[in-house]
Structure 1
Amino acid sequence: MHIIFYTKEICPLCDDAEALLSSFEVDYPHTLEKRDIHSREEWLAEYQLQTPVIEINGEQMNCEEISFNTIEAFLKKHSERN
């Protein structure tokens, strides 16, 4: 499974979300493509107030939705599609 992870420097929420994703690597193998929102203006405009954002197969969850349980459910949902 391929995950796109929108992040930025000095972002404790991003660090926590990335650690949670890492903790699920064994049960839900994935590749993580990290995208710094400051590297493209369109990403900055879209995600500035929402980082971190996790995207799988075009579906996204933002910082307000991210927790251990929601990440696990999101990964499970998308692993069943493959």
Structure 2
Amino acid sequence: MKHMKFSFYTRPNCGLCEDAERMLRLVAEDHPIEWQTINIEEDEQAHEKYMLMIPVLEQNGSVLKYGNIGYIDILEIID
């Protein structure tokens, strides 16, 4: 299995974002993934693009999953 890197768009006080990051951490315990967390409130371009979609999991400019991101969703992406 190859190492995968993602961009994870989030913002403070976002319950769905916290859940999604928890799922990323769980998957990372068993799979070679890493992510860069980007706070959309600190990035005007990301805020415009994703404010209604967060959390967003993106790779190479492509949105892989957004909104309710669960453990199985992440496994399907990396499989």
Q: TM-score, with normalisation over the residues of structure 1?
A: 0.81
What is residue 67 of structure 2 aligned with on the other side? 63
Kept in 1, the 8 Å contact 2:57–2:66? The answer is yes
Structure 2: runs of 5 or more not aligned: none
What is residue 22 of structure 2 aligned with on the other side? 19
TM-aligned CA deviation for residue 67 of structure 1: 2.2
Structure 1: runs of 5 or more not aligned: 77-82
Aligned equivalents of 1:28, 1:59: Cα separation in 2: 21
Supply the AA of the counterpart residue of 2:47: L
Runs of at least 4 residues off by over 3 Å: none
Aligned equivalents of 1:58, 1:28: Cα separation in 2: 22
Aligned equivalents of 1:17, 1:67: Cα separation in 2: 6
1:39-58 matches, within 5 Å, as 39-58=42-61
- SS of structure 2 residue aligned to 1:21: helix
Cα RMSD for the two superposed structures: 1.4
TM-aligned CA deviation for residue 70 of structure 1: 1.4
Identity of paired residues, percent?
32
Q: TM-score, with normalisation over the residues of structure 2?
A: 0.83
Aligned equivalents of 1:45, 1:71: Cα separation in 2: 25
Supply the AA of the counterpart residue of 1:33: Q
